[in-house]
Amino acid sequence: MRDLLQATVAIVIVCGLLFVAAGQMQSKGSTGSKDTLTVFNWGEFIDTDLIKKFEQETGINVIYETFDSNEAMLTKVQQGGSAYDIAVPSEYTVESMREDNLLIPLDHTLIPNLKNINDDFLNLPFDPNNEFSIPYFWGTVGIVYNPNLIEDHLTFETWDDLWDESLKRKVFLVDGSREVIGMGLNTIGESLNVKDDKVLRQATDKLMTLSPNVKAIIGDEITPLMINNEAAVALTWAGQAADMMAENEELNYAVPEEGSNLFFDNMVIPKTSKNIEGAHKFINFMLDQENAAQNADYVGYSTPNEAAWDIMDPEVIADERFYPSHELREKLEVYENLGLTWLGKYNEYFLEFKMNLN
């Protein structure tokens, strides 16, 4: 009994001390300002020095929270209970948030730096006239591969190269139904936003024949695995490919010519915002030429900020793999919000494909 009491008292004391310590640290860290702004972003998706700079310039105290998937973020914003002022959803989520009235329209007069964004990245179908969203980063879905580990004739100018017999158990796929089923759709020349069971069936059947080549279907851990040459080939996003290539110089990245997906992560102001003015300031700050360049440099994804291109490493901007030309981008397709019924069907087909692996 004495042991139990002693332990209880010790825990309470330790917690009390830690509580005081945390309070001290927090008050030291903040600017002391009551004006706060809560930013809800993917982890490691911003250069944290920029947050400090923003706090100094504006006197606004930034609270930074992170999420790991669009859908998880969406659930949080829908339920409310936390005052998010900025969120960074992908384009199809912007579309569904817009439809569900979860976004606050942007006041473009408060975002003069909008002029820095390249015209190609404005006024896109998922948000006409950028009424609710500003592109933050963008990229493609493609194939990252190690030429030293595969036969020379495989250059992935076509998706069919993935089906090559020499790639038995050498391919990683990313764990996303739209990406994988989309690849099947691309190979049979269909749209990535198709809503037709017969076509989806056809695409899934085509994918089933890829099974012998698939080593694993995985998520973000694809990056360290490819750096380490655990597999020769992987279907993944350009931003992650860039991360891999920065660490493993043997790797190369290609977007097959039949077409692929073009994605955007965008800054929006959710309905939960309590500091709409500060949110606009933040968006404008991130669009600033120097800040955008610094951020792109840190994160490694492609920025839509044309002004930033001028001051970034010219070699990076000239790299067609990550900054494909206007003509190449024409072939790429942006995801539309399929609606829950069709999204569910894509997932069912994907599940069928996964269950067929083992």
Among 35, 71, 99, 100, binds another protein (CB under 8 A): 71
Q: Kindly state the DSSP code that residue 301 receives in the 8-state scheme.
A: S
Whats the size of the chain, residue-wise?
358
Interface with another protein: number of residues (CB under 8 A): 75
Q: How far apart are CA 120 and CA 110, in angstroms?
A: 21
Q: How far apart are CA 295 and CA 300, in angstroms?
A: 8
Among 217, 234, 235, 312, binds another protein (CB under 8 A): 217
Q: Is 355 in the site for another protein (CB under 8 A)?
A: yes
Among 53, 64, 163, 258, binds another protein (CB under 8 A): 64
Among 67, 121, 253, 264, binds another protein (CB under 8 A): 67
Tokens 């998937």 -> residue? 69
Q: Is 25 in the site for another protein (CB under 8 A)?
A: yes
* Amino acid letter, residue 100: D
Q: How far apart are CA 336 and CA 253, in angstroms?
A: 25
Distances (CA, A) of 166 to 72, 170, 188, 215, 225: 39, 9, 22, 13, 20
Window of 170-178, 255-263, 307-315, 318-326 that interacts with another protein by CB under 8 A: 170-178
259 or 282: whose CB is closer to another protein?
282
Among 53, 83, 114, 271, binds another protein (CB under 8 A): 83
Q: Is 215 in the site for another protein (CB under 8 A)?
A: yes
3-state secondary structure of 26: helix
Binders in 3-22 for another protein, by CB under 8 A: 3-4, 7-8, 11-12, 14-15, 18-19, 21-22
What beta strand segments (E) does the chain contain? 36-42, 61-67, 86-87, 133-145, 171-174, 214-218, 233-237, 252-254, 262-268
26 or 109: whose CB is closer to another protein?
26
Q: Is 247 in the site for another protein (CB under 8 A)?
A: yes
